[in-house]
Structure formats: C-alpha cells, structure tokens
DNA sequence: CATGCATATTGATATATGTCATTATCTTTG
DNA sequence: CAAAGATAATGACATATATCAATATGCATG
C-alpha cells in the first residue's frame, strides 16, 4: 500500500458524484483537501481490521471493497460491497473509535482518508453536511434490516437470489457481470456454507435462471429470480 | 390509547435519566415540553406500524416495548426491547419518513411523542444534541451487528443463550426475572420456531442451567450459559 | 510444459431445524 | 365453577443445511 498525499486530483473533482460533500462550501472542502491522504490498495489487501482504532473517514474513488464482520469459528459475514464514489465509515466513529467490521479491497482500489476529527468538526459547523451524514447512516441501517430479514427468514435459494440481484443492481449495475468475489464470498454474503452456495447456483443454472461461467454471471430470468427472492 | 398532553410531569423531570436531552438548554427543553404529547398504551397495543409515516420521536417513560420487523410469511423478527427511559426512533426519520419496523407495548406503557420537525430543528441548532443523537444511532447499529452475528452464525442453543442473557442484563436487570414476552416472542428474538425455542429452554432446564416457571426465568449457571453463547 | 497450490465442484452422509398433530396448561369469561 | 380460547409443551416426522471426503479445474511459478 502506497501513500500519496495531495496529488493532482482534488476533493472538488469528486464533488459532483460524492453527494455528501456537495453540502460543503469551498473553504470547507479546502480543509479536507489539505488533510486528506490518498491511498492505493491492491486486490486482496486489508484496508482496516475489525477491532482496530477507527481514525479515518474513507471515500472510495476507485475499485471495490467488501465490508465484513468477523464472527465465530473463522466465519465472516459480508455486510456490503462498496463501489466508487461511496463512503466507508463505521458506527464506532461516535461511540468507541473502534472498527466494528473489516474492509478488504476485492479489486485494485484507491481511497481518500479524511481525519475523523476534522470530519466531526465540519459536522458540528455545517448542519446540512450533518443531515446528509445522518441520512447516509440511516440508509445503511435500512439496507441492513433488509439483509437481516433475508438472512434470518429466507431459505438458501431466496438468499442467493438476493445476492445475485444485489450484485447486478447495486454493485456492478450490469448484466452479465464479472465479479472478483469468490464462492466463499458469495456464501459469506448469504450466510451459508460455500458448498451450499455452489449447489444453489448450479440449481439456478440447471433451471435456466442464470448463466454461470467461472466468475461471470448472467441473470437470464429476472422475474423468476425475483419470485424466488420473495417466496423465500 | 388515551392522549394527555402537558400533564404535571415535564421534560426536565425526565432529564436526569434521559441523557440525550441533557444537551439541551432550558429554552430548548421548553420548546419540546410545549409540543410533546403524552400517551398511554395498554400491553399488547400497537404503538406504530411498519410502513406508516414516521412523524414522532418517542421517549418511553413507563413500561416496555418490543420493536420488530415484519418479514415474510407472517414471521416477525424482534430487534430489541425498550425500557424506560429510552428512545424509540427509526432510520426513516432522515430518509423517507416511514417506519421500518413496528413497535408494540408488551406492558402497560407511557411515552412522550415529540414532533419530528421540532426535533430536527433542535438537531440543526445544537451540535451537542446532534452528536448525542448520532451516538445513539451508532450504538443501535453496533448492537444490531451483534444480533446479526448471533442469528446468522450461532446454532439454536447459542441464540437462546444470547436472548436470556440480554433479558437478564439489558432488559430486566434482575435474576430471576419475570417477563411478559410469550414463547413466540422469544422465538422471534432468536430467529427460530416457537417449538424449537421451547425445546432449547427445556434442555437448559434439564441441564440445570436455568430455572423456568411459566414466565419467570432464573439463570442458575451463568458461566455455562455464557459458554454456550460463545461456542455457538 | 510440468508441478504445485488454491479454488471450485460433486456426492454421500450427518445434523440442525421446521412442521404438523396432539395433548396439556393456563386465563378469561359468562 | 364450567366452558372456551389462548398459550405452552411434547413427539413423530420431514426437510434444509452443514460437514466431510474426493475429485476437478483453474492459475501461478519455476
């Protein structure tokens, strides 16, 4: 991981896409610009680990990152995949300054790190910015509830369907899509064993609902998949 | 449900226990006092329902309330039990003004309803208050993660153990404790069928880990129960 | 190109958990 | 107090899911 601060890109460059920062005036953006650190991560590299101090607010500008809770018996639960330009920040910021999940690059990635204290200061000074932030936190929480219900009340086919639809609609925004997530990752997203995930994928393939070729997936029958998602 | 506004109690009366409001100055508290509505709910009454507009921030002053997501096939997932003096507010406040879970009194309860717009206004004006609010939201999120891991990675005995420890330590703060939660509720807290919950409780009883008498529970072997919680 | 290592796949089997039917217990109500 | 309705408990059984072992496939490395 290599650190390059203050390169030719600036915060205002990201600003167009990165909604939350559009609440900040130029002076405020400059403060962030002056203190932000730009970091590159290779695919597979750990960005931060659950349990370590949470010192930065992170803005992903390139690549993709998986967020996962490290649970019991070496099992992980992937709670989301982040793509540019989106933010990575944990609930620990205002509680205990500890990361409550881990983040790992699943593609070569680039991120800006903003000092948490500066971030908090701007929040206090700019209530539009603050409200946008709360909106983001709240949205995360709502998405969380959905995954919660999916994992606790649906059977395996429904959960795999949810993962496939999530990847197509929210992560890759394409169909077919090629993923760098392993089968183990797909299992960690749907709360089941790797073998079970593979089996369900094969069933979907046999039924003509999806096409699978290594890491390339294509959803052929969207309606059927949505129905499986709903009937659990 | 009967509504009585502006009774002899005031916000400052609750203030001592209700940390978040201690950030407000008397003038601000008066604004809330002037607009708050005090409501009584009988055990079993619905306080608000998932999907309906979220117009109030709620402060529970008496009784107990269960928060639950209404999922598929009439199945509910209880995400928490609230006791006085704690707050009830959903992530919808800053997103879509919709309740994303339902709330039901499980004991005769009393709550103060504060208009969401006034609440948001105070948040904008008082950044201490705002930070306390975010702290609360974040804490909820962290607790959520824990339940998430419990439900997705532990087997039934571990999940029931978690529920029992939660009730003893966080809800009733007593041992033995008497609950108004039904077996179905306990099942909804641990993501399993009512029958399974009953079975596990009986096993714990047979092994001398707990004592059960109708709705009165006593944890006899705390260490063993914690171990079960940890080994999943 | 061969070798080794990681990942993916498959099948057989064990286990956890849900469902259904039945009985028991408690609570309310007339 | 009896009857009825809810809730709780139990057992038999079906099914979903994990585990384990074996094999296959892809991919990097020398």
Note the pLDDT tens digit of each residue in B65-120: 999 999 988 899 999 999 999 999 999 999 999 999 999 999 999 999 999 999 99
Residue B127 near chain A (CB below 8 Å): yes
Task: Please report which residue ranges of chain A form alpha helices under DSSP H.
Answer: 11-15, 26-35, 116-125, 127-153, 156-166, 183-190, 194-206, 222-231
Note the pLDDT tens digit of each residue in B145-191: 999 999 999 999 999 999 999 999 999 999 999 999 999 999 999 99
Which helix or strand (DSSP H or E) is residue B125 part of?
Answer: helix B116-125
Classify burial at A78, counting beta carbons within 10 Å of its beta carbon; exposed 0-12, middle 13-18, buried 19 or more.
Answer: buried
Give the distance from residue A32's alpha carbon to the nearest chain B alpha carbon, in angstroms.
Answer: 20
Give the distance from residue B173's alpha carbon to the nearest chain A alpha carbon, in angstroms.
Answer: 23
Note the pLDDT tens digit of each residue in B28-76: 888 888 889 999 999 999 999 999 999 999 999 999 999 999 998 889 9
The separation, in Å, between residue A37 CA and nucleotide D29 C1' comes to 36
CB less than 7 Å from strand C: which protein residues?
Answer: A 182-184, 194-195, 198-199, 201-202, 212, 214-215; B 155-157, 191-193, 195-196, 214
Tokens of B100: 């994303």
Nearest neighbour of A72 by CB, restricted to B137, B138, B153: B153
How far is residue A69's CA from residue A55's CA, in Å, rounded to a whole number? Answer: 18
A142 neighbourhood in chain B, CB within 8 Å: 91-92, 95, 100
Closest nt to residue B155, judged CA to C1': C16
- A 172-211 → B contacts, CB under 8 A: 191
Q: Do A148 and B148 touch (CB under 8 A)?
A: yes
Nearest neighbour of A138 by CB, restricted to B94, B144, B149: B94
| Residues of chain A predicted below pLDDT 50 | 1-3, 5
pLDDT of residue B7: 53
Mutate: best of A50, A51, A69, A72, partner B, most B CBs <10 A:
A72
User: Under 8 Å CB-to-CB from B195, ≥6 apart: which residues?
Assistant: none
Q: Do A124 and B130 touch (CB under 8 A)?
A: yes
Q: What phi and psi, each to the nearest 5 degrees, are found at residue B179?
A: -115, 155
């Amino acid at each position: 991981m290599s650190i390059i601060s203050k390169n030719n890109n600036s915060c205002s460059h990201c600003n167009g896409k990165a909604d939350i920062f559009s609440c900040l005036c130029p002076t405020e953006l400059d403060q962030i610009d002056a203190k932000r650190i730009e970091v590159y991560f290779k695919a597979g590299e750990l960005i931060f680990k659950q349990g370590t101090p949470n010192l930065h607010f992170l803005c992903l500008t390139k690549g993709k990152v998986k967020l996962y809770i490290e649970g019991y018996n070496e099992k992980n639960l992937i709670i989301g995949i982040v793509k540019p330009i989106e933010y990575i920040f944990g609930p620990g910021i205002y509680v205990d300054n500890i990361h409550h999940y881990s983040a790992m690059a699943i593609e070569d990635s680039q991120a800006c790190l903003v000092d948490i204290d500066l971030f908090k200061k701007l929040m206090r000074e700019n209530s539009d910015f603050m409200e946008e932030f709360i909106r983001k936190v709240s949205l995360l929480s709502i998405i969380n509830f959905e995954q919660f219900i999916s994992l606790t009340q649906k059977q395996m086919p429904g959960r795999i369907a949810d993962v496939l639809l999530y990847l197509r609609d929210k992560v890759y925004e394409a169909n077919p899509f090629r993923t760098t997530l392993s089968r183990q990752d797909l299992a960690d997203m749907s709360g089941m064993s790797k073998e079970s995930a593979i089996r369900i994928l094969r069933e979907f393939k046999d039924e003509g609902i999806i096409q699978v070729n290594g890491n390339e997936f294509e959803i052929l029958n969207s309606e059927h998949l949505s129905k499986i998602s709903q009937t659990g």
